[in-house]
Amino acid sequence: MGYKVAIVGATGNVGREMLNILEELEFPVDEMHAVASRKSRGVEVAWGDRTIKCQDIEAFDFSKVDIVLMSAGGDVSRQWSEKIGKAGPIVIDNSSAFRKDPDVPLIVPEVNPDAIKDARKKNIVANPNCSTAQLVVALKPLHDAAKITRAVVSTYQSVSGAGKEGMDELWNQTKAIYGLGDATPKLFPKQIAFNVIPMIGSFRDDGYTDEEAKMWDETHKILDPDIRLTVTCVRVPVFVGHSEAVTLEFDRPISPDEARAILRDAPGVMVIDKQEHDGYITPVDASGEHAVYVSRIRKDHTVENGLSLWVVSDNLRKGAALNAVQIAQLLDETGTIKPSSGYRSITV
Ligand SMILES: NC(=O)c1ccc[n+]([C@@H]2O[C@H](COP(=O)([O-])OP(=O)(O)OC[C@H]3O[C@@H](n4cnc5c(N)ncnc54)[C@H](OP(=O)(O)O)[C@@H]3O)[C@@H](O)[C@H]2O)c1
């Protein structure tokens, strides 16, 4: 028995990864529907060893599917997710549209799986921001062992976090700078090739950006509202993989060795931490992988109970598509959803 699944945003970076990961994790799918904007009607996307044609969101009948993986941005989600939820299917939403809604659970399955009990309130489950997802996977096991009281996080976010247009802009600017062509920024506020941009999203009155606020709001909802968190989000010229320099203060002493041992046993975490060049992870190493990698675990000598660490993950996988598919697995395993269709076969 399998599910009837629709992916909205199937032509995008995250949508394509969702198709890959559903197949990789052998999620039971009876029917797969690729949905995107009208301009992509008929465009083919890969699903396993075959291709399926995209359908126009305006013409798609969502009442005939069980699960909708929504990955087409906040505006599309605000327009469609509640309507779809009311029509029956459960929506797993990748955008920020519903993350703060008290009737919508915001879930990272390694961290707060019990929140799935609220999935039926609106038939919407929210997937967190890519930087939050990898952060809370690393923080949760440490927080269970010694309460984290304060976190200072600086992100190094890849251009794929801004969608396929972000990747195109880095590629085109890099070529233009080498070839003396036009490197004028279009999507990013400043040149991204051979540069770093210390702001992501839009500025708020307090000087932070909405991307930074998402990280503390979401960490509070998923993990613990009492953790004080300050964040600087930075865009870097990396195609895939977000990195984070994280400094933590605890309510009791915790040594780097104890932290390493805790993290080695934690779900979803891979510790690669030796003082040698194969002993730490970069975004290039993490790209295409499922794990949240933790390296450079060391004592912060400037506070009483402090640790610093380096956290890296594939933003299109754990930061988006993998987490969404894990939520679908959780819905299935907890019996929150049941397949509506017959034996497993894939329609193309
Ligand atoms: N990239 C990340 O690291 C990441 C992480 C977490 C969450 N997210 C979220 O995931 C979502 C998608 O991100 P992405 O990186 O995949 O973006 P993307 O590569 O730019 O793809 C956007 C997708 O949305 C579709 N779309 C746009 N307007 C639409 C409309 N009016 N109706 C139907 N479909 C429409 C596009 O279809 P067309 O090709 O037809 O335009 C495309 O399939 C966003 O909400 C983003 O915030 C991304």
CATH code assigned at 122? 3.40.50.720
Q: Residue 160: which CATH number?
A: 3.30.360.10
Q: Are residues 285 and 257 in the same domain?
A: yes
Identify whether 130 is a catalytic site residue: yes
Does 200 lie in the same domain as 165? yes
pLDDT value of residue 340: 81
Per-residue pLDDT of the chain (348 residues; tens, 9 = 90+): 899 999 999 999 999 999 999 999 999 999 999 999 999 999 999 999 999 999 999 999 999 999 999 999 999 999 999 999 999 999 999 999 999 999 999 999 999 999 999 999 999 999 999 999 999 999 999 999 999 999 999 999 999 999 999 999 999 999 999 887 889 999 999 999 999 999 999 999 999 999 999 999 999 999 999 999 999 999 999 999 999 999 999 999 999 999 999 999 999 999 999 999 999 999 999 999 999 999 999 999 999 999 999 999 999 999 999 999 999 999 999 999 999 854 433 333
pLDDT at position 344, please? 37
242 is annotated as an active-site residue: yes
Asked if 135 and 124 sit in the same domain, the reply is: no
Range(s) of the domain holding residue 274:
131-314
The strand pairing partners of 153, in sequence order, are: 231, 246
Alpha carbon distances (Å) from 326 to 24, 131, 323: 12, 17, 5
CA angle in degrees (0–180, nearest 5) for 236-209-144: 85
Same domain, 122 and 55: yes
Separation of 209 CA from ligand 1 center, angstroms?
A: 21
- 194/173 same-domain check: yes
Residue 19 domain flag? yes
CB within 6 Å of ligand 1 — which residues?
Answer: 8-15, 36-37, 39-40, 57, 71-74, 76, 94-95, 129-130, 160-161, 163-165, 315-316, 319-320
Q: Which residue in the list 33, 54, 130, 233 is annotated as catalytic? A: 130
Looking from the CA of residue 14, the nearest atom of ligand 1 is 16
Closest atom of ligand 1 to CA, residue 160: 1
Helix (H) or strand (E) holding 140: helix 130-145
CA 219 to ligand 1 centroid distance, Å: 23
- Cβ atoms within 10 Å, residue 236: 18
Q: Which atom of ligand 1 is nearest to the CA of 10?
A: 43
Pocket test for ligand 1, best of 7, 11, 38 (most atoms within 8 A of CB): 11
Strands 29-36 and 50-56: parallel
Question: What angle do helix axes 130-145 and 256-264 make, rounded to 10 degrees?
Answer: 110
Distance, CA 73 to ligand 1 centroid (Å)? 5
Amino acid 341: pLDDT? 56
User: How far does the centroid of ligand 1 lie from the alpha carbon of residue 210, in Å?
Assistant: 18
Counting the structural domains of the chain, the total is 2
Domain co-membership, 121 together with 189: no
Domain assignment present for 341: no
State residue 346's pLDDT score: 37
Residues 26 and 120 in one domain: yes
Ligand 1 atom with minimal separation from the 39 CA: 40
For 73-132, the DSSP string reads: -HHHHHHHHHHHHHHSPEEEE-SSTTTT-TTS-B--TTT-GGGGGGTTTTTEEEPPPHHH
Q: Whose CA is nearest to atom 24 of ligand 1?
A: 72
Inter-residue contact 336 to 342 (CB < 8 Å): no
Supply 322's token pair: 């993998």
Residue 20 lies inside a defined structural domain of this protein: yes
Which phi and psi angles does 43 have, rounded to 5°? Answer: -65, 135
For residue 346, tell me if it sits in a domain.
Answer: no
Kindly tell me the burial class for residue 258, based on how many C-beta atoms sit within 10 Å of its own C-beta (0-12, 13-18, 19 or more).
middle
From 37, 211, 243, give the residue whose CB has the most ligand 1 atoms within 8 Å, as the site to mutate: 37
Statement to judge: residues 287 and 175 lie in one domain: yes
* CA dist 152 → 133, 211, 300, 303 (Å): 16, 15, 12, 12
Amino acid at 174: T
What is the predicted pLDDT for the residue at 328? 98
Atom nearest to 77 CA in ligand 1:
45
CA of 94 to the centre of ligand 1 (A): 9
Q: Among the options 33, 54, 143, 242, which is catalytic? A: 242
Binding residue positions for phosphate: 99
Indicate if 142 and 249 belong to the same structural domain.
yes
DSSP structure class, residue 337: S
Tell me which of 80, 94, 211, 292 to substitute to probe ligand 1's pocket, judged by most ligand atoms within 8 Å of the beta carbon: 94
Q: Are residues 211 and 112 in the same domain?
A: no
Does 45 share its domain with 187? Answer: no
CA dist., res. 190 & res. 195, Å (int): 9
